[in-house]
Amino acid sequence: MQRIGVFVCHCGTNIAGTVDVKAVAEALKNEQGVVFSTEYQYMCSEAGQSIIKNAIKEHKLTGVVVCSCSPRMHEATFRKTASSAGLNPYMVEIANIREQCSWIHKDMEKATEKAIILGRAAIAKVHLNAPLTAGESPVVKRALVIGGGIAGIQTALDIADAGFEVDIVEKKPTIGGKMTQLDKTFPTLDCAACILTPKMVDCAQNEKIKIYSYSEVESVSGFVGNFSVKIRKKARYVDETKCTGCGLCTEKCPMKKVPNEFNLGMNNRSAIYIPFAQAVPKIATIDPDHCNMLKNGKCGVCAKICTAGAINYKQEDEIVEEKYGAIIAATGYNPINLDKYDEFAYSQSKDVITSLEFERLTNAAGPTSGKLLRPSDGVHPHTIVFVQCVGSRCGAEDSKGGKSYCSKICCMYTAKHAMLTREKYPDTDVYVFYIDVRTPGKNFDEFYRRAAEEYGVHYIKGMVGKVMPQADGKLLVQGSDLIAGEQLKINADLVVLAAAIEPDKSARPLATMLTASMDTNDFFTEAHPKLRPVESPTAGIFLSGACQGPKDIPETVSQASAAAAKAIGLLCKDKLTCNPCVAHSDEMMCNGCSQCEKVCPYGAISYEDKEFRMPNRTTAIRRVAKVNPAVCQGCGACTVTCPSGAMDLNGFSNRQIMAEVDAICR
């Protein structure tokens, strides 16, 4: 027979405001097995915890029920309290009378009645609790960073700096990500390449960092401290160990009409290519969709001229399997597709471009060698209109693929574009249509004011309604000037759209592999929006950069270092304490149907053939389920799936759950 103590928390007025806590403590006193029952203002406070500790000793409690907030909040706290008073921590149960009762009800009488029922259920469960002991599992001292943009690079450098091995998987032929495509960076206007390429080189030269470029994560199994990851190294048809990056092949390749993705299709590259001059690793890659040799066997020029003999048309994808202790997602973002925004004539006119395209048009390594020229005719534009919030801040039921969130970076990069245009080409009129100018950041608002005050950028409060391409090649921009109370018509040469940003498409399948949760916009969800912003709720998975939400470079770098710090904290440990609430199967009841194996998200269940004694001294071999306790996370999917009731979860056994239900229905 258990000796149970009940502790009801007021949580200030959070609970006591709606629930009569004294009545709850009083009512639960009469439950079977309860030898002590009390209430206190803040059970989680030091004084509250000592009430629990003293009661455990004084009344020789064997079980504790705390009626308080969600177990997600303070279960760990109260387990520690019990443990320090000599009670097994798994003899503590939480009745959630805050989130599931006081916060959602208004009627005191009914809320009190419900709190008593919830407490009763927890007491019924404690009667069947058994002490559990947590095991330990070792930690592989190596981290995996998925995505090699500025976020992934910074995280990898910081982890390597702490002395741990770290691998970067990047799906493109080079690391560097979006930042390589930018010209200048706000608010200090340093050249993006100048500050990024040294970091890329550091990654390549750091002996703790291994870069898997042109590679993708194929599958992930295992658990915190012990992930096993398969990486697909896509065939680049060039031997990485031999290629010197001389670039001769890219010059001689006869197939030169391939849209260059680095310049967003605004010029062409050859079928064998190095994305840009400072690529890391600087190795050529053959694009199999455009190479004549790979498509129909008629060419082979690159193989003939390569002095290093690096070309290998027979190269195949290679799968590498590695073990990691921690995984950091850094998959980044992309601008959204604007094809459905007909009103801005993006797909009709070459002179309506996105801000990222504008970035390439002003970059010295871009298609125009840094001269700002109209894409349609190569003439210098004299009137430029920037449109903010294209696809950002849209209603939830937007039919054009617009996003409900603010993309955060557009106000600042548009101020940068407008300012730099006015500085380089003072003969250019620059208009910015804005809904709100949002510049919360160090030196951000000052930057925007400089664009308006010192550089004479025309900021217009209003939105563009439509852009009409004219016969003379101009673009007639019609929009609101809400402050003047006018409808403006501007004859522009170039229109630049600040397209919303969205998470990279690879993030969703990756989240499935990692069992990491995502929000409805496909951004990774953090474990706590304020207090655990760089961790996924899935243990051992960390978040770096724009895959968690829109971010500029300073914020991305800070978050990347924060994610690294969290990962280092994990890698420093030699052993991790496991969760003892894992599943196990009753071999006598298991019929080997494989249902549990199919639903297990962690791959923790396998089957084995076992010999069983049968009546009349015979034996039989039966196939039964076996749970690997190190891999099981205790989600309970198998226990509800098992048709014969053979699967059970420690700490949440079927008997315990039914006892709770019985107590509620009593």
Partner 1 sequence: MPSETLKEQVIRISGVNPLKCMRCGKCSGSCPSYEDMEYHPHQFAYMVEKGEIEKLMNSDSIYKCLTCFACVERCPRNVEPAKLVEAVRLVKIRQQGANHLKAESIPEKLDAELPQQAIVSAFRKYSK
Q: Which of 315, 376, 480, 644 binds partner 1 (CB under 8 A)?
A: 480
Position 478 contacts partner 1 (CB under 8 A):
yes
Binding window for partner 1 (CB under 8 A); candidates: 4-12, 35-43, 475-483, 560-568: 475-483
Whose Cβ is closer to partner 1: residue 341's or residue 542's?
A: 341
> Contact, 563 vs 155, CB < 8 A?
yes
Work out how close the CB of 417 gets to partner 1 at its nearest, in angstroms, rounded to a whole number: 20
Which single residue is written with the structure tokens 């089957």?
A: 607
Position 70 contacts partner 1 (CB under 8 A):
no
| Stretch 380-399 residues interacting with partner 1 (CB under 8 A) | 389, 393-395, 397-398
Hey, what long-range contacts does 593-598 have (CB within 8 A, 24 or more apart)? 593/643, 593/644, 595/638, 595/641, 595/642, 595/643, 596/625, 596/637, 596/638, 596/641, 596/642, 596/647, 597/625, 598/641
Whose Cβ is closer to partner 1: residue 40's or residue 341's?
A: 341
Q: What does the alpha-carbon distance between residue 204 and residue 206 come to, in Å, rounded to a whole number?
A: 6
Whose Cβ is closer to partner 1: residue 260's or residue 388's?
A: 388
Work out how close the CB of 480 gets to partner 1 at its nearest, in angstroms, rounded to a whole number: 3
Work out how close the CB of 39 gets to partner 1 at its nearest, in angstroms, rounded to a whole number: 43
Window 554-573: contact mask with partner 1 (x via CB under 8 A): --------------------
In SS3 terms, 309-338 reads as: CCECCCCCCEEEEEEECEEEECCCEEECCC
Work out how close the CB of 536 gets to partner 1 at its nearest, in angstroms, rounded to a whole number: 31
> Contact, 253 vs 304, CB < 8 A?
no
Position 461 contacts partner 1 (CB under 8 A):
yes
Whose Cβ is closer to partner 1: residue 207's or residue 397's?
A: 397
Work out how close the CB of 389 gets to partner 1 at its nearest, in angstroms, rounded to a whole number: 7
Position 343 contacts partner 1 (CB under 8 A):
yes
Position 468 contacts partner 1 (CB under 8 A):
no
Position 406 contacts partner 1 (CB under 8 A):
no
Position 529 contacts partner 1 (CB under 8 A):
no
Nearest C-alpha neighbor of 331 from the set 143, 161, 514, 169: 169
Work out how close the CB of 486 gets to partner 1 at its nearest, in angstroms, rounded to a whole number: 9
Whose Cβ is closer to partner 1: residue 312's or residue 480's?
A: 480
Nearest C-alpha neighbor of 45 from the set 76, 78, 14, 13: 78
Position 487 contacts partner 1 (CB under 8 A):
yes
Window 172-201: contact mask with partner 1 (x via CB under 8 A): ------------------------------
DSSP for 475-495, please give it.
Answer: EEEEEEETTTTEEEEEEESEE
Under DSSP, is residue 228 helix (H, G, I), strand (E, B) or coil? strand
Helix (H) or strand (E) holding 606: strand 605-614
Work out how close the CB of 521 gets to partner 1 at its nearest, in angstroms, rounded to a whole number: 16
Whose Cβ is closer to partner 1: residue 394's or residue 581's?
A: 394
> Contact, 5 vs 65, CB < 8 A?
yes
Position 463 contacts partner 1 (CB under 8 A):
yes
Q: Which of 148, 402, 540, 545 binds partner 1 (CB under 8 A)?
A: 402
Return the number of other C-beta atoms located less than 10 Å from residue 47's C-beta. 10
Q: Dihedral, CA atoms, 222, 224, 227, 233, nearest 10 degrees?
A: 130
Q: What does the alpha-carbon distance between residue 470 and residue 476 come to, in Å, rounded to a whole number?
A: 7
> Contact, 129 vs 652, CB < 8 A?
no
Q: 520's torsion region: left (phi>0), alpha (psi -120 to 50) or beta?
A: alpha
Q: Give the interface with partner 1 as residue ranges (CB under 8 A).
A: 343, 389, 393-395, 397-398, 402, 435, 461-466, 478-480, 482, 485, 487-488
